[in-house]
């Protein structure tokens, strides 16, 4: 059990660092809004979750523990819902209601679409 927790913690740390790096790069090169970083991370994370799930189910079977480490450890830390909520709350506090709604709806809609695209791709490989 300790070994599993250590792997889970390591995967979470790698997911966190990856998220920080990706958002940093996006914010550095995007002039639109800081919300793009979280959106791209969340949508790409949903796509990766769908892709990996399909690959693990259909092509490359891995143990349940490995799935937990990758899907919950790495991707759970990579795509954090709390960042979406914090950014949306700040928009609401600033009375930017429309942007808050767009932020929430786009993450959820594109997240589901990306997950299903990942599943479709994973099943076809």
**Both structure tokens of 38:** 């979280």
Cβ contact 73:11 at 8 Å: yes
The 3-state DSSP class for residue 109 equals helix
Q: What is the pLDDT of residues 99-112, one digit of tens each?
A: 999 999 999 999 99
pTM of the shown model: 0.79
Cα gap 93→71, rounded to integer Å:
33
At 32 the pLDDT is 65
Tally of CA atoms within 13 A in the half-sphere of 79 that contains its CB: 19
Is 29 a residue whose pLDDT tops 90? no
Number of domains in the chain: 1
CA-based angle 113:84:35, to the nearest 5?
85
Is 26 a residue whose pLDDT tops 90? no
Is 31 a residue whose pLDDT tops 80? no
CA-nearest of 32, 16, 31 to 83 is 16
Better-predicted residue by pLDDT, 66 or 33: 66
Q: What is the pLDDT of residues 43-101, one digit of tens each?
A: 999 999 999 999 998 899 999 999 999 998 999 899 878 778 878 888 999 999 999 99
The domain of 20 spans: 2-124
């Amino acid at each position: 059990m300790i070994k599993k927790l250590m792997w889970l913690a390591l995967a979470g740390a790698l997911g966190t660092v990856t998220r920080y790096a990706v958002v940093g790069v996006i914010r550095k090169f995007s002039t639109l809004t800081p919300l793009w970083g979280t959106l791209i991370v969340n949508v790409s994370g949903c796509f990766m979750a769908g892709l990996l799930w399909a690959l693990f189910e259909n092509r490359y079977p891995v143990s349940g523990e490995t799935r937990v480490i990758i899907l919950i450890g790495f991707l759970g830390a990579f795509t954090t819902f709390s960042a979406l909520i914090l950014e949306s709350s700040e928009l609401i506090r600033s009375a930017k209601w429309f942007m808050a709604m767009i932020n929430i709806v786009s993450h959820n809609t594109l997240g589901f679409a990306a997950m299903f695209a990942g599943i479709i791709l994973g099943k076809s490989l």
